[in-house]
Structure 1
Amino acid sequence: MEKPLNTGDGLWNEDLAPTSESARTWRWYHYTALWIGMVMCIPAYTLAASLIEGGMSWGQAVATVFLGNAVVLVPMLLIGHAGAKYGIPYAVLVRASFGTRGGRIPALLRALVACGWYSIQSWFGGAMIYTLAGVLLGHPLGGAPIAALGINLGQLGCFLAFWAIQFYFVVHGIDSIRKLETYTAPIKIVICFVLLWWVWAKAGGFGPILDQPSQFVEGGKKAGQFWPTFWPSLTAMVGFWATLALNIPDFTRFAKSQKDQLIGQTVGLPGPMGLVALLAVIVTSATVVLFGKALWDPVDVASRMTGAGVLIALIVLLIDTVSVNLAANLVGPAYDFAALVPSKITYKIGGYITASIAIVLMPWKILESTQGYIFTWLIGYSALLGPVAGILVVDYYLIRKTNLDVPQLYVEGGKYSYGNGWNPVAIAAFVLGVLPNIPGFLNAAFPAAFPHIPEVFKVVYTYAWFVGLAVAAIVYRLGMMRNAEVPAISADPA
């Protein structure tokens, strides 16, 4: 599509423009490989640990992970439809509902969350370099402690080294990321089976964790508390990929067909995510036999291998973390930052901004505890992104019946400007969707400062993503019924 007239410099650049037919080369197996590459990551591996630590049996933990990903797959496919049909990224799609200026709000929210994840994954990658250096040197890397940061100089240096490794792909763009995911996905599958064989052979079986009952059964430490634990855990599992559920058009805009993105994502997400959780449980169960305690950190497990095994395992984990971090946490915010000031920020510059913000977020602080990881980080940002997902789905399917006037998405003062560039209905729906979750978030994030939050708000917060999505969707639908905006139709989806 050629640059529309009257677009100015505030809504258009070549990276945000609809993809051409020649650029739509992604088949279903590319999307399956993309998801396999993304789900086989250290944070996904450790999710099962947080659930078992919370009292679940291995079967309950794996089922919760699988169910959460099956739930988030639904908005993933619904929102991804727009990318495949029109070739537009998420940052442009949100203009249809929030307005040509208002769309910057959900784009920025999604970008900042992704920066947090990019930072967390970079920390995991740095931890692997730190461990690998210790193995090669024969002693821990160490270094002078940095009191202000809470880590030592060696850890900081490894974190920055991994951050620097990823810069090659930031510079070389999204196609280099697609190639990396496609080539490494099969390797990851093979490594998983090799790891299973290794722990089975070494431990003489799969260990005692698989025999441990749930702590929620009668006589257990948390008898009768399953559902109060299950619902926030399910919300956290949904929140794990809630960012991708929004910006999935950034990938589906390259789809050869609608069928390719539908099949590829359905095959690539829930099943592999459940299998990764199962792998984590089995390997960790065996570590009880091998090392006398449960080791949920795969980097720690790899460091205890002997011979060439430790080097191979750590290198594979490094490649894995690079691939998932770039696909899941760089592409989206790069487009989102570009959408803020298209005349000055390209996709590549947006990637530079993402990587720069990740340095200052101190991800080791987020990961200090399970409470901080699940109840503050995962559920907290799901409370922000759930309302956006609800508004997008209602707008695209119920208001516009999947029909968009694509050129108008790039025009100042056009039909998606709502008069002043902001759709007040979308803003109100978003605020009202977030509002019920704020008291619960404050209690979870700052319990000492907000100890007396009414119990009802704590309960609401355990369903943060679902509550935010439902409230925003209902408010937006009712508000737009009273709005004079006519659904926009485009005869040419390209």
Structure 2
Amino acid sequence: MKTQTVSNGIVTLTKEGEEAIKNSPLYNEGLRPTRTAEHTWTSYNFASLWIGMSICLPTYAMAAGLISLGMNWWQAILTIILGNCIVLIPILLNSHAGTKFGIPYPVFARLWFGSKGAHIPAVARGLIGAGWFGINCWFGGAAIDTLLMSMTGWANVPGHLWISFFGFWLLNVWVAYRGPEAIKKMEAWAAPILIIMSLALLVWALTKAGGWGPMLSAPSKFTTTAEFLKVFFPALTGAIAFWATMALNIPDFCRYAKSQKAQVIGQSSSLPTTMGFFSFIGVAVASATVVIYGEALWDPAAVLAKFSPFAIFLGTIGIILATLTTNVAANIVAPARAVENLAPRRLSYKAGALIAGVVSLLLQPWYILENFGNYIFLWLGTYGALLGPIDGIAIADYWLVRKRRIHLTELYKTNGIYTYKTGFNGRAIWAMLIGIAIPFISKYIPGLSIIWDNAWTVGLLISLVIYTWMMKNDGSILSANDYEKITANNKQTIAS
């Protein structure tokens, strides 16, 4: 029986396929494969998604963090751009699966970890997403607090910072609660506004400072290549890890893509360029403030606080918009889907969004951002070491093991081929643990710390190779003939 059909590279369920799984405990409206009419995202939608997510206070702060660690401006910017070019590779590889089969990340994870084991990578990604959600709320709340103090007597209100934080947190949770389609619409109109506001800030800085300012000509603090590399590799891992989360759950968005071309062009043209562009604005504006105010101001809210009340009002709207577009897209969808996947028949995306918001508070973002060492090395570096191996397994399974052939209805069966007898694929778990353990152990062995400094990349490659080897000839792999038996081909189908 043909349970799925392919047209123009997009695979959807047939009526028979949907009937076969609609009563499964692993199925609900949020986790089912998308239908043809739902593939509406164009290249612009993906470009605006990444522009909206990349223009945010953590991006602005990351360049500052690298310069505070000793890099000069161009070393910091190139490190960030290189890191984003590297992470773009797994993003595009995992995007293909989401686009072709229309499945969200937790369902995609069932393919390689099993129907029950999928909770491991889904919850891991979800916890990190919740952590980022809290970080962005703290950034945004603190910025709003700074701007309110500059306009009113807000500084005299007891606990004003915490009030700003929790108020902004509530706004983020409310917007996230409205769902992915609302996110798509918000990103579409917010992206051009954020670009204009960013350029306006850069033009102001250049005009007021009469040039780029002294910091752009300040030399690196490193006197030898060895000193530079000691900071460069963990910084590069941090830059990669910044979006390593999205490299995993990008199917949550690409499942709505009109075509593979739409998602590839939209993402490739916007991610590295926007991250490099906004990081540069952060460095350039901070450089200009040395000339204008006699000190380097790395906090954009602190810069805006020196403007006129009307400019502060516009800047506050910009900061709220920049944080919202990042937070609700990059940091709430994954944990919400992870919660939903725990009990598809009882929990919805909206319930998951609320739970993720509460978890973000428990992770204490104020501690993570206590200093740049925590931010770059503890937070970004540590979760990069965790997510790298999972990324490697995802890529290996879809591209090397299964060769882009998936039996969609089996993903929603409690006793299907992707259940792996116990619901867990032990080979995926072992590949993940080995990929995490080797970099972690190397951290404490003299002369091998460079492996830990590149934990995301090393872990990805180790787990990719081990998983591919261990899954050779597994019974869940579809042959080309098996795939043809279940897949109806539309005459308009192109290479997928």
The reply to whether TM is greater than 0.5 is: yes
The alignment status of 1:187 with 2:178, answered yes or no, reads: no
Q: Is the 8 A contact 2:55 2:322 kept in 1?
A: yes
Deviation at 1:172, TM superposition (A): 1.9
Deviation at 1:340, TM superposition (A): 1.3
The alignment status of 1:198 with 2:204, answered yes or no, reads: yes
CA distance in 2, matches of 1:8, 1:422: 22
* Helix, strand or coil at the partner of 2:257: coil
* Helix, strand or coil at the partner of 1:269: helix
Deviation at 1:359, TM superposition (A): 2.0
The alignment status of 1:281 with 2:263, answered yes or no, reads: no
Deviation at 1:391, TM superposition (A): 0.4
TM value normalised by structure 1: 0.92
The alignment status of 1:77 with 2:92, answered yes or no, reads: yes
Q: Is the 8 A contact 1:383 1:464 kept in 2?
A: yes
Choose which of 481, 488, 491 in structure 1 pairs with 2:487. Answer: 491
Deviation at 1:215, TM superposition (A): 1.8
Aligned to 1:471: 462
The alignment status of 1:18 with 2:33, answered yes or no, reads: yes
Aligned to 1:31: 46
CA distance in 1, matches of 2:154, 2:170: 24
Instruction: Name the aligned partner's letter for residue 80 of structure 1.
Output: S
Deviation at 1:155, TM superposition (A): 1.6
Aligned to 2:112: 97
Q: Is the 8 A contact 2:84 2:271 kept in 1?
A: yes
Deviation at 1:493, TM superposition (A): 9.0
Q: Is the 8 A contact 1:433 1:468 kept in 2?
A: yes
CA, structure 1 residues 314+492, in 2 after alignment: closer, same or farther (shift >3 Å)?
farther
CA distance in 2, matches of 1:3, 1:347: 20
The alignment status of 1:175 with 2:190, answered yes or no, reads: no
* Helix, strand or coil at the partner of 1:13: coil
* Helix, strand or coil at the partner of 2:96: helix
Deviation at 1:296, TM superposition (A): 1.1
Question: Superposed, which structure 2 residues align to 1:363-382 within 5 Å?
Answer: 363-382=365-384
Question: Superposed, which structure 2 residues align to 1:65-464 within 5 Å?
Answer: 65-138=80-153, 140-143=155-158, 153-217=159-223, 224-439=226-441, 453-464=444-455
TM value normalised by structure 2: 0.91
405-414 or 160-169, which deviates more: 160-169
Q: Is the 8 A contact 1:86 1:493 kept in 2?
A: no
CA, structure 1 residues 426+176, in 2 after alignment: closer, same or farther (shift >3 Å)?
same
335-344 or 70-79, which deviates more: 335-344
CA distance in 2, matches of 1:492, 1:368: 56
Aligned residues: 470
Instruction: Name the aligned partner's letter for residue 308 of structure 1.
Output: F
Q: Is the 8 A contact 1:8 1:411 kept in 2?
A: no
Q: Is the 8 A contact 1:85 1:493 kept in 2?
A: no
* Helix, strand or coil at the partner of 2:155: coil
Q: Is the 8 A contact 1:334 1:350 kept in 2?
A: yes
Deviation at 1:326, TM superposition (A): 0.3
CA, structure 1 residues 335+201, in 2 after alignment: closer, same or farther (shift >3 Å)?
same
Q: Is the 8 A contact 1:4 1:411 kept in 2?
A: no
Q: Is the 8 A contact 1:406 1:493 kept in 2?
A: no
* Helix, strand or coil at the partner of 1:205: coil
CA distance in 2, matches of 1:413, 1:92: 15
TM-superposition CA deviations, 1:355-386 (whole Å, max 9, x none): 11112222110001111111110010011110
CA distance in 2, matches of 1:492, 1:231: 48
CA distance in 2, matches of 1:227, 1:431: 27
CA distance in 1, matches of 2:221, 2:177: 49
* Helix, strand or coil at the partner of 2:322: helix
Structure 1: gaps (5+ residues): 144-152, 442-452
* Helix, strand or coil at the partner of 1:414: coil
Deviation at 1:283, TM superposition (A): 0.5
Instruction: Name the aligned partner's letter for residue 79 of structure 2.
Output: T
CA distance in 2, matches of 1:287, 1:138: 25
* Helix, strand or coil at the partner of 2:167: helix
Instruction: Name the aligned partner's letter for residue 440 of structure 2.
Output: I
Q: Is the 8 A contact 1:409 1:416 kept in 2?
A: yes
Deviation at 1:92, TM superposition (A): 0.4
Q: Is the 8 A contact 2:22 2:28 kept in 1?
A: no
Deviation at 1:454, TM superposition (A): 2.7
CA, structure 1 residues 473+409, in 2 after alignment: closer, same or farther (shift >3 Å)?
same
* Helix, strand or coil at the partner of 2:131: helix
* Helix, strand or coil at the partner of 1:355: helix
Deviation at 1:216, TM superposition (A): 2.1
Q: Is the 8 A contact 1:231 1:462 kept in 2?
A: yes
TM-superposition CA deviations, 1:23-81 (whole Å, max 9, x none): 11110000000000000000011111111111111111111100000000000000000
CA distance in 1, matches of 2:216, 2:106: 44
Q: Is the 8 A contact 2:106 2:338 kept in 1?
A: yes
Aligned to 2:60: 45
CA, structure 1 residues 90+493, in 2 after alignment: closer, same or farther (shift >3 Å)?
farther
Structure 2: gaps (5+ residues): 1-12, 491-496
Instruction: Name the aligned partner's letter for residue 73 of structure 1.
Output: L
261-270 or 197-206, which deviates more: 197-206
Q: Is the 8 A contact 1:130 1:141 kept in 2?
A: no
